């Protein structure tokens, strides 16, 4: 986690909500210059900060309503920071909590150089990323409908469906399997929902793919050169990563993707991993799926994977493979190079061979050991 340390003349902490926003502005000496609750509007915000815009930094906790404020600050030339909600313990850990106190706390955390910085996703690709996330929500709803049809079929012990229900042509005659009128109607409703979801998802995926080819065609193509990463997974990775350059090290990227454990140690004692959900859940899902698909029809990888299964077990072996894929994707995007299976196989269990280092330099034994310790894989199911 990075913290913002630069000094400014004025620091503005905002407790942002849908209808109101509590604004607190303090100077370098810690004197409160402005502390009021105003309406959530562009005009009132600009009027509130107008006397302090000479050297102002604005800090907001990462909630669902920050998009418009980040864009407004960018247009007006005002420095804007997004605070990582899980790291702002001072805001949520106080005995007394309200909007006035929260805005003051944010302003003083910002002034003290302890403001945990979250990534402010640029507006260019942000809306398409959110649309892609919405697609994943609809896919889960569609899967729930198919699961309900399977469960209904099992309730009446009618035997398994002959073909997979994900394809529309395989759903013909399914309603006729059920004789009860109400069950008959239930299956009709499920089929109508499936057809509706199919049409919406088809149109949505075509739109997102067309937009992605305009936003970043190079990264999209590079991601699809890796076995197991198809159209949907490449789109998820591309839009969730946005710019690989924002990760200085491969360890930072793997941690962001939830592919490595976070070491916890105090007084010489090591504790079990905690806060494992800090990071990007969508990238965690994408690399976990890619690890499973990567094994299909790939005998060289399967041979190596089977050795890991016998040593670590199936779950941890898959998590190691997901971590290796994350390492490969990091250097693919950073160097603008397609996937190379020979380099991948030469990466070893540490995933950090000379082929995958930043500058092609050979890591010495001590450095390799340190990298391995920092990159312990996280179980795929978490």
Flag whether 62 is in a domain: yes
Residues 244 and 190 in one domain: no
The predicted model gives 88-116 an average pLDDT of 85
- Whether 159 and 240 map to the same domain: the answer is no
Q: Is residue 177 part of a domain?
A: yes
Query: Is 370 found in the same domain as 262?
Result: yes
**Has residue 96 been placed in a domain?**
yes
Residues 148 and 71 occupy one common structural domain: no
Same domain, 170 and 113: no
Residues 191, 149, single domain; the answer is: yes
Tell me the C-alpha distance between 327 and 352, whole Å.
Answer: 8
What is the residue range of 148's domain? 125-215
- Do 146 and 200 lie in one domain? The reply is yes
Specify the pLDDT at position 157.
86
Q: What is the dihedral of CA 122, 127, 129, 132, to 10 degrees?
A: 180
What does the pLDDT look like over 186-211, one tens digit per residue? 999 999 999 999 999 999 999 999 99
Closest by Cα among 287, 127, 143 to 201:
143
Beta bridge partners of 87: none
* Confidence label for 375 from pLDDT (cuts 50, 70 and 90): very low
Domain limit, last residue, from 180, 215, 250: 215
Within-domain flag for 316: yes
Q: Taking the complete model, does pTM exceed 0.95, yes or no?
A: no
Same-domain pairing of 110 and 140 = no
pLDDT of residue 166: 86
What residue spans of the chain are helical by DSSP H? 42-49, 67-76, 89-92, 99-111, 123-155, 181-215, 217-224, 231-241, 250-256, 281-294, 299-312, 314-335, 341-346, 365-374
In the predicted model, is pLDDT for residue 373 greater than 60? no
Query: Looking at residue 260, what DSSP letter applies?
Result: B
> Is there a single domain that holds both residue 235 and residue 106?
no
Q: Which of 260, 280, 261 is nearest to 272 (CA)?
A: 261
Based on the domain organization, do 293 and 159 belong to the same domain? no
Same domain, 242 and 343: yes
In a domain, 156, yes or no: yes
185 located within any domain: yes
The answer, yes or no, to whether residue 79 has pLDDT greater than 80, is: yes
Same domain? For 92 and 143 the reply is no
Q: Please tell me the distance from the alpha carbon of residue 234 to that of residue 269, in angstroms, as a whole number.
A: 40
Count of domains observed in the chain: 3
């Amino acid at each position: 986690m990075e913290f913002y340390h630069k000094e400014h003349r004025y620091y503005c902490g905002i407790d942002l909500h849908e209808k109101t926003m509590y604004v607190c502005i303090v100077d370098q000496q810690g004197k409160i210059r402005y502390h009021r609750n105003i309406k959530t509007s562009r005009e009132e915000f600009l009027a509130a900060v107008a006397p302090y815009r000479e050297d102002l930094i604005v800090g907001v906790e990462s909630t669902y309503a920050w998009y418009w404020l980040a864009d407004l600050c960018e247009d007006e030339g005002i420095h804007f920071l997004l605070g990582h909600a899980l790291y702002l313990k001072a805001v949520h850990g106080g005995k007394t909590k309200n909007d006035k106190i929260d805005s003051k706390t944010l302003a003083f955390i910002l002034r003290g150089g302890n403001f945990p910085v979250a990534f402010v996703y640029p507006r260019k690709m942000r809306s398409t990323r959110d649309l892609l996330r919405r697609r994943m929500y609809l896919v889960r709803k569609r899967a729930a409908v198919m699961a309900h049809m399977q469960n209904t079929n099992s309730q009446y012990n009618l035997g398994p469906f002959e073909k997979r229900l994900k394809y529309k042509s395989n759903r013909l005659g399914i309603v006729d399997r059920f004789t009860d009128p109400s069950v008959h109607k239930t299956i009709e409703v499920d089929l109508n929902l499936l057809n509706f979801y199919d049409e919406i998802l088809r149109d949505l995926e075509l739109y997102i793919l067309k937009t992605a080819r305009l936003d970043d065609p190079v990264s999209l193509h590079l991601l699809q050169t890796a076995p197991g990463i198809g159209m949907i997974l490449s789109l998820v990775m591309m839009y969730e990563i946005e710019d690989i350059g924002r990760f200085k090290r491969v360890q930072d990227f793997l941690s962001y993707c939830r592919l490595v454990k976070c070491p916890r140690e105090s007084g010489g004692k090591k504790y079990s991993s905690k806060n494992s959900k800090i990071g990007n859940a969508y990238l965690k899902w994408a690399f976990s799926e890619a690890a499973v698909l990567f094994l299909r029809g790939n005998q060289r990888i399967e041979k190596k994977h089977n050795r890991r299964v016998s040593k670590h077990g199936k779950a941890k072996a898959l998590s190691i493979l997901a971590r290796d894929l994350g390492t490969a994707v990091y250097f693919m995007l950073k160097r603008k190079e397609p996937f190379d299976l020979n380099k991948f196989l030469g990466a070893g269990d540490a995933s950090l061979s000379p082929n995958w280092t930043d500058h092609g330099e050979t890591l010495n034994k001590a450095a390799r050991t340190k990298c391995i310790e920092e990159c312990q894989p996280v179980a795929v199911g978490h």
